[in-house]
Chains A and B, each alone.
Chain A
Amino acid sequence: MKKKFGLTIASIMAVSMVLSACGGNNNESSSPSAPSESSKAPSASESAKPSQAGSPLEEALAGKYKGTKVTMFGPFVDVDQVKFEEAIKAFEEKSGIDIAYEGTKEFEATVKVRVDGNNAPDIIDFPQPGLLANIAKTGKVIDVSTFMDKAKLESNYNKSWLDMATMDGANGKIMAGIWARSSVKSLVWYNKKEFDAAGYKVPQTWDELLALTDQIAKDGDPAWAIGIESGAATGWPATDWVEDIMLRTTSGENYDKWVKGELPFTDPIVKNAVQKMSDIWLKKGAVYGGTKSIVTTSFGDAPKVLFDNPPKAWLHRQASFITSFFPEGLKSGEDYDWFPLPSIDPQYGTPALVAGDIYAMFNDRPEVRAVMEFFTTGESIKTWIQSGGVIAPMNDADPSWYTSDVERKMAEFVKNASTIRFDGSDLMPGEVGAGTFWKGMTDYVSGTVSLDKAIEEIQAGWKK
Chain B
Amino acid sequence: MKRRTRRIGSKSIVNITLAIICLIWLVPTVGLLVSSFRPASDILKSGWWTVVPHRGNLTKEQIQLPKDTDLQQQIEVKGTLYTDEQLRAGIKAPDGSRLIWENRRARLINVQEPGWTMSKNFTLDNYEGVLTGKTYELKQPDGSVKKEKGSDLSRAFLNTLVVSIPATLIPILIATFAAYAFAWLKFPLRKTLFVIVIMLLVVPLQVALIPISKDYAALGLNGEFLGIWIAHAGFGLPLATYFMYSYISQLPKDLFESAFMDGATNFTIFTRLIVPLAVPSIASISIFQFLWVWNDYLVSLIFLGGQEDVQVLSMKIANLAGSRGDAWHLLTAASFISMLMPLAVFFGLQRYFVRGLMGGSVKG
Q: Give residues in A with beta carbon < 8 Å to B.
A: 1-2, 5, 8-9, 12-13, 15-16, 19-20, 23-24, 26-27, 31, 35, 73, 75-83, 86, 100, 102-106, 110, 113-114, 116-119, 218-221, 231, 300-301, 304, 310, 321, 324-325, 327, 383, 386-388, 401, 403
A77 surroundings in chain B (CB, below 8 A):
306, 319, 322-323
Give Cα A388 to B223, complex, Å: 33
Whether the pair A300, B220 counts as a contact (CB closer than 8 A) is: no
B210 surroundings in chain A (CB, below 8 A):
113, 116-117
Q: Choose one: B103, B159, B301; the contact of A110 (CB below 8 Å).
A: B301
Interface membership of chain B positions 31-62, coded 1 if the CB is closer than 8 angstroms to chain A and 0 otherwise: 00000000001001000000000000000000
B272 to chain A, nearest CB (A): 9
Q: Give residues in B with beta carbon < 8 Å to A.
A: 41, 44, 71-72, 103-107, 134, 136, 138-141, 143, 148, 150, 158-159, 161-162, 165-166, 169, 209-214, 216-218, 220, 222-225, 275-276, 279, 301-302, 305-307, 309-310, 315, 318-327, 348, 352, 355-356
Give Cα A116 to B222, complex, Å: 13
Whether the pair B213, A117 counts as a contact (CB closer than 8 A) is: yes
B162 surroundings in chain A (CB, below 8 A):
16, 19-20, 23
A83 to chain B, nearest CB (A): 7
A195 to chain B, nearest CB (A): 13
Give Cα A103 to B141, complex, Å: 26
B276 surroundings in chain A (CB, below 8 A):
1-2, 5
Whether the pair A386, B141 counts as a contact (CB closer than 8 A) is: yes
- Given contacts A12-B169, A102-B307, whether A82 and B136 have CB atoms under 8 Å apart is yes
Whether the pair B325, A119 counts as a contact (CB closer than 8 A) is: no
What are 25 A-B pairs with beta-carbon distances under 8 A? A1-B276, A2-B279, A16-B165, A19-B165, A23-B309, A73-B305, A76-B323, A77-B306, A79-B322, A104-B305, A117-B222, A118-B213, A118-B214, A119-B213, A220-B105, A221-B105, A300-B324, A301-B44, A304-B41, A324-B326, A387-B138, A387-B139, A387-B140, A401-B141, A403-B139
- Of all chain A residues, the one with the shortest Cβ separation from B356 is A1
- Given contacts A12-B165, A16-B166, A219-B105, whether A23 and B217 have CB atoms under 8 Å apart is no
- Given contacts A1-B355, A103-B306, A117-B213, whether A13 and B169 have CB atoms under 8 Å apart is yes
Whether the pair B301, A119 counts as a contact (CB closer than 8 A) is: no
Q: Choose one: A27, A78, A86, A388; the contact of B327 (CB below 8 Å).
A: A78
A78 surroundings in chain B (CB, below 8 A):
134, 150, 319-323, 327
Whether the pair A117, B302 counts as a contact (CB closer than 8 A) is: yes
Whether the pair B159, A13 counts as a contact (CB closer than 8 A) is: no
A325 surroundings in chain B (CB, below 8 A):
324, 326
Give Cα A143 to B342, complex, Å: 48
- Of all chain B residues, the one with the shortest Cβ separation from A100 is B307
Whether the pair A80, B323 counts as a contact (CB closer than 8 A) is: yes
Give Cα A287 to B279, complex, Å: 62
- Of all chain B residues, the one with the shortest Cβ separation from A106 is B301
Give Cα A401 to B140, complex, Å: 10
Whether the pair B105, A31 counts as a contact (CB closer than 8 A) is: no
A105 surroundings in chain B (CB, below 8 A):
315, 318-319, 321, 323
Q: Choose one: A27, A218, A301, A403; the contact of B141 (CB below 8 Å).
A: A403
Whether the pair B355, A83 counts as a contact (CB closer than 8 A) is: no
Whether the pair A23, B225 counts as a contact (CB closer than 8 A) is: yes
- Given contacts A19-B161, A220-B104, A401-B141, whether A119 and B222 have CB atoms under 8 Å apart is yes
Give Cα A15 to B164, complex, Å: 12
- Given contacts A13-B165, A23-B309, A110-B301, whether A5 and B279 have CB atoms under 8 Å apart is yes
Whether the pair B319, A119 counts as a contact (CB closer than 8 A) is: no
Give Cα A83 to B320, complex, Å: 15
Whether the pair A23, B301 counts as a contact (CB closer than 8 A) is: no
A13 to chain B, nearest CB (A): 6
Q: A1-B355, A102-B305 are in contact. List 20 more A-B contacts (CB 8 A).
A: A2-B276, A23-B158, A23-B225, A78-B319, A78-B321, A78-B322, A82-B150, A103-B306, A103-B323, A105-B318, A106-B301, A106-B318, A114-B213, A117-B209, A117-B211, A218-B72, A325-B324, A383-B138, A388-B139, A403-B141
Give Cα A31 to B134, complex, Å: 30
- Of all chain B residues, the one with the shortest Cβ separation from A326 is B326
Q: Which 6 A-B pairs have the closest CB atoms?
A: A117-B213, A16-B165, A220-B104, A77-B319, A118-B217, A26-B309
A325 to chain B, nearest CB (A): 5
Whether the pair B71, A220 counts as a contact (CB closer than 8 A) is: yes
A357 to chain B, nearest CB (A): 11
B306 surroundings in chain A (CB, below 8 A):
77, 102-104
A30 to chain B, nearest CB (A): 8
B355 to chain A, nearest CB (A): 6
Give Cα A116 to B150, complex, Å: 32
B327 surroundings in chain A (CB, below 8 A):
78
Give Cα A77 to B308, complex, Å: 11
- Given contacts A27-B224, A110-B302, whether A15 and B161 have CB atoms under 8 Å apart is yes
B323 surroundings in chain A (CB, below 8 A):
75-80, 103, 105
Give Cα A26 to B224, complex, Å: 10
Q: Choose one: A19, A73, A117; the contact of B158 (CB below 8 Å).
A: A19
B213 surroundings in chain A (CB, below 8 A):
113-114, 116-119
Give Cα A386 to B327, complex, Å: 22
Give Cα A15 to B31, complex, Å: 35
Give Cα A113 to B159, complex, Å: 23
Give Cα A383 to B141, complex, Å: 8
A80 surroundings in chain B (CB, below 8 A):
322-323
Give Cα A327 to B169, complex, Å: 47
- Of all chain B residues, the one with the shortest Cβ separation from A221 is B105
Whether the pair B158, A27 counts as a contact (CB closer than 8 A) is: no
B305 surroundings in chain A (CB, below 8 A):
73, 102, 104
A23 surroundings in chain B (CB, below 8 A):
158-159, 162, 225, 309-310
A301 to chain B, nearest CB (A): 6
Whether the pair B315, A104 counts as a contact (CB closer than 8 A) is: yes
B325 to chain A, nearest CB (A): 6
Q: Choose one: B104, B161, B309; the contact of A16 (CB below 8 Å).
A: B161
B156 to chain A, nearest CB (A): 11
- Of all chain B residues, the one with the shortest Cβ separation from A104 is B306
Whether the pair A300, B325 counts as a contact (CB closer than 8 A) is: yes
A73 surroundings in chain B (CB, below 8 A):
305
Give Cα A79 to B135, complex, Å: 9
B287 to chain A, nearest CB (A): 13
B324 surroundings in chain A (CB, below 8 A):
300, 321, 324-325
A177 to chain B, nearest CB (A): 19
- Of all chain B residues, the one with the shortest Cβ separation from A217 is B71
Whether the pair A304, B44 counts as a contact (CB closer than 8 A) is: yes
Give Cα A387 to B147, complex, Å: 11
Give Cα A118 to B103, complex, Å: 60
Give Cα A102 to B355, complex, Å: 46
B105 surroundings in chain A (CB, below 8 A):
219-221, 310
- Of all chain B residues, the one with the shortest Cβ separation from A35 is B220
B5 to chain A, nearest CB (A): 39
Whether the pair A83, B169 counts as a contact (CB closer than 8 A) is: no
Give Cα A403 to B307, complex, Å: 31
B326 surroundings in chain A (CB, below 8 A):
300, 324-325
Whether the pair A103, B150 counts as a contact (CB closer than 8 A) is: no
Give Cα A321 to B326, complex, Å: 11
- Of all chain B residues, the one with the shortest Cβ separation from A404 is B139
B150 surroundings in chain A (CB, below 8 A):
78, 82
